[in-house]
Structure 1
Amino acid sequence: MMNPVQFVKMMRGGNPQKVVMDMMREQAGNNPVMRNAMQMAEKGDSEGIEKLARNLCKEQGIDADEMVNKIKSQFGV
Structure 2
Amino acid sequence: MRLWVEDNGIGIALEHQERIFNVFERLHGEESYPGSGIGLAIVRKGVERMGGQVGVESLIGQGSRFWIELRTATMKT
TM-score normalised to the size of structure 2? Answer: 0.24
Structure showing the higher helix proportion among its residues: 1
Structure showing the higher strand proportion among its residues: 2
TM-score normalised to the size of structure 1? Answer: 0.24
Q: Which has the higher contact order (CA 8 A, sep 6+)?
A: 2
